[in-house]
Amino acid sequence: MKQLKDRLKLLALVLGVPLLLLLWGGWQWTRPQLNMMHTKDVPLQEWATGEFYQHSLPPLLAGATALLGALALLFGILGLVRIRAAGRRAQQSRELLLSNFRAVVGWLPWLLLGHLLTTLLALACGLSFELLPVAPLLVSGDVDPRLALVAGLVLAMLLWMAGHAVVGIIQATRRAYASTPLSLHGKAVDATQAPTLWRLVQGLAAKTGATAPDAIVVGLDEGFFVTEQPVQLNDDAQPLAARRVLYLPLPYMAWLSLHETAAIIGHELAHFTGADTEYSLHFAPIYTRAVNQLDVVEEMGGDKDDGVTYWLTAPVRMLNIYFLDAFHAAVQHWSRERELAADALGAQMVNTQAAASALLRSGTLAPHVGAALADYHDRPDQAVGGMLDLLQRRIALHGLGDPRAALEAELAHPFDSHPTTQQRLDALGVAIDDALLQRACAAQPSSTLHDLGLAGQAGGDITQTVESAYADAANAGLEGRRRELTELAAKGATPLPCFERMALARLGLVMFTAFFWWWASQIWGRESLALSSRLIYVAVLFVAGVLPLWFLFVVHRRSKLPVMTFDKDGLHSRGLAAVVPWTAIVDFDLEVREVYGTTHHLLKLALAEGHVAPKTRRLNNVRYRKKEHELLLAAQGLRGMKSQAFYDAFIEYWQAGHARVELARLGA
C-alpha cells in the first residue's frame, strides 16, 4: 500500500504538475480577452502607450506557460522511462549496473535542472498573465501599489529559485569525489611478524587461485573484511601503501576455530578474485555524487515548514529518489549474489561444515562483541585485562545464547550488505542440526590466536600490542570526553529566569476598558432607558467592563513572574506543578511567530518514555499532549531576550544537565 501511494505521489508531482501548467496555459490562450489578439501587429509606438502589455503580451505569456509546461512534462516522462529502463538493465549483470548507474548520474542532473526550470518559469509566466489586467489599474492609482510589490516578490522568488537551482546542480556535477581513506585502529603485520598467519592466507589463496592481500591488519573493533580503499591506521598522517588489505578481528578469532577462521578468510579472499573490492572502489564515488545531487535539491526546498519552496522542488526531489530506488534492488541483488559466491569459495578452501559453523558462530558472537566494545569504549579505565578479557568475562557470565536467534541476522560489514545467516546456510546446502548448534553456542575460547602466532611469545604478543594501543586511544578519548563534559556542566550553574513582555497586552486591556466605560457613561445618562434595560445593562457592564480589569490584574501579576526558569535541576514553569529534569527531555523544538507585532514562542519538549509529566496549571499557556508525550510551553514575547538567545540558552542548560549526569556516571 505504501509503495502504491509513493508511486502515485511520484506521478502526480513529476507528471501531474507539468500537465496542470500545460492545461493552465491552454486555458489562458482561449480566454475571451485574447480572441482578437492572436494576429494583431504591434506598432512600435504601442511600447510607449502600454498597449503592448494590454494586447500583445498576454498571448505570449499564455503560450509560454503552455510550452514550458509541455517541456516539463516531456522531461518528466523521459526521466521516468529512462530511469526505469536503466534499473532493469542493471539487474542483468554487475557490469551493466555500474555502467548504467554511471550513465544516469551523468545526465540526470541536467534533466532535473530542465524539469525544475521549465516548471518554475511556466509558473512565473502563468502568474504574470493573471496579473497583467492589474497593471493599468496600478498606473491609474485604482489599486494599492503594495499588491504590485507582493506580486513582484513572488516572481522574484521563482526566478531566484531557478538561478539557485542552476548554480547548485552545476556545482554538484563538477565536484570531484575521491575515495577518502578508511580510518581503522589496529596493527599491520608482515610475514616476519606473523609468518604462520601469512602462510595460512597465502596457502588459501593459492589453493583456488584467489588473489592474496598486500597487507594484513589485525584489530579489535570491526568484522572480517577486505578492501582496496586507502586505509589510514591509528590516525596516521599517511595511509598504508598497500592496495589490497585484509582486516582480521581478534575478538572473533579468539572464539573461532582455526578451520572456521580459515573459511572466513577464504570468503574474504574470494572478494579479491571476483573484483568485488575494485567494483566497490568505482561504485562508491558515483553513488556519493548521486546522493550529493539529492542533497542539493533537498537544500533548495528545505523541509515542509518552508512551505512554497518545499513543494516547488518536490517533483525533482521525488524523481531523484525514484532513481536511487530503481537501482537499489540491483545493488542489493548483486551484492548478495557475490556474498553467496564468496561463501562457496570459502567452503571450497576448507570444507562446507567449517564454513557453516563459522557463519553461525560469528552471528552468535556478534552481539556480545558489540556489547563488550561499547562497554570498553564507555569505561576503558575499568576494563581490567583489556578488551578480550572483558569479552571472555561477559560470555562466561551470560553465555552465548541460542544461536538460532542469529539465523535471520545479517553480519555487519563496512561496505556491503549480506544475506541472512539462514539464507547463506541454505545456499551452502547445510542443514541445521544439534551438532552445529552446540558448536555455535560453545562458550570456550579457541587457541587460534596462539596457533597463528598472534598471541604469546611466538608472535611477540601482537594481540597484547594491539590491546595496549587500543586502550591508550580509548583512555585518551575518555579524558577528552570528560574535559568536554566538564566545560558543558559549568555553563548551567546560575539560574536564568525568562520573563514575558506584557506591555502590549496591558495597554490593550487599559484602552479597551477605558473606551467601554466611556461608552457606558454615555448610555447610562439617557432618561429613556427602561428599568429592565438598565438591569441588563448592569450585567453587561460587569462582564465587559469589570472582567477586563481582572484580566489586567492577572496580566500584571504574570509579568512579575518568570514564564520559565532554567537552572541546574531542570526547567521550571509557572504553568507546571513540578520541575522537568533535563534528562527527561529527549528532544525539543522552538516555534517562533510574529502576531500583531508580538513575538510568540512555542517550546515543544518531547519527554523520555516512562517519565511522568508534571501536572499543568490553568491559564498559564502550558499544555500536555498525552499521545505524543509532549509538553507545549508558550510565551508571548520575551523581555530583554531575543528568540535566538532564548533557544541558545535552553540548549546550553539542557546540555549542561546531561553533562552533569554523565560526569556522575563516569565518576568524575
List, for residues 556-600, the tens digit of each pLDDT value.
Answer: 566 667 888 999 999 999 888 899 999 999 999 988 876 655 677
Q: What is the mean pLDDT of residues 403-428?
A: 70
More confident residue, 205 or 275: 205
The region of weakest confidence among 306-315, 353-362, 408-417 is: 408-417
Q: What is the predicted pLDDT for the residue at 619? A: 59
More confident residue, 473 or 514: 473
CB 555 within 8 A of CB 606: no
Q: What is the predicted pLDDT for the residue at 376? A: 87
Residue 1: CB partners within 8 Å, gap ≥ 6?
none
Answer positive or negative: Cα dihedral of 472, 478, 481, 486. negative
- Residue 246 pLDDT class (50, 70, 90 cuts): very high
CB 390 within 8 A of CB 307: no
Q: What is the predicted pLDDT for the residue at 639? A: 76
Report whether pLDDT(54) > 60. Answer: no
Nearest-angstrom CA–CA distance, 429 and 426: 5
- Single pTM value for the model: 0.66
DSSP assigned state of 562: -
Hey, what's the torsion of the CAs at 215, 446, 430, 432, to 10 degrees? -140
Q: What is the predicted pLDDT for the residue at 39? A: 39
Backbone angles phi, psi at 371, to 5 degrees: -65, -40
Q: What is the predicted pLDDT for the residue at 45? A: 47
Which secondary structure element, helix H or strand E, spans residue 466, and what is its range?
helix 462-489
DSSP 411-456: ---SS-----HHHHHHHHT----HHHHHHHT--S--SHHHHTTSSS
What whole-number percentage of the chain has pLDDT above 90? 17
Burial class from Cβ neighbours inside 10 Å (0-12, 13-18, 19+) for residue 22 reads buried
CB 513 within 8 A of CB 545: yes
- Domain range list for the chain: 2-174, 183-480, 503-544, 561-666
Report whether pLDDT(656) > 90. Answer: yes
Report whether pLDDT(63) > 50. Answer: yes
Residue 624: CB partners within 8 Å, gap ≥ 6?
613, 616, 630, 631, 632
Burial class from Cβ neighbours inside 10 Å (0-12, 13-18, 19+) for residue 350 reads buried
Place of cell 509557572: 574
Report whether pLDDT(418) > 80. Answer: no
Phi-psi domain of 229 (left: phi exceeds 0; alpha: psi -120 through 50; beta: other): beta
Q: Render pLDDT for 22-53 as a digit per residue (tens, 0 to 9).
A: 998 888 888 755 544 443 444 444 444 455 55
Report whether pLDDT(228) > 60. Answer: yes
Nearest-angstrom CA–CA distance, 489 and 654: 10
Nearest-angstrom CA–CA distance, 309 and 88: 33
More confident residue, 307 or 332: 332
Q: Render pLDDT for 171-193 as a digit per residue (tens, 0 to 9).
A: 655 655 555 778 888 899 999 99
Q: What is the predicted pLDDT for the residue at 168? A: 63
- Residue 57 pLDDT class (50, 70, 90 cuts): confident
Instruction: Record the cell numbers describing residue 570, joined without a space.
Output: 531542570
Q: Render pLDDT for 109-156 as a digit per residue (tens, 0 to 9).
A: 888 888 888 888 888 888 888 777 665 555 555 555 555 666 666 667
More confident residue, 51 or 392: 392
Average pLDDT for the chain: 78
Q: What is the predicted pLDDT for the residue at 437? A: 86
Place of cell 494583431: 40
Nearest-angstrom CA–CA distance, 589 and 288: 31
Q: What is the mean pLDDT of residues 269-278?
A: 68
CB 285 within 8 A of CB 229: no
Q: What is the predicted pLDDT for the residue at 175? A: 59
Q: What is the mean pLDDT of residues 394-400?
A: 88
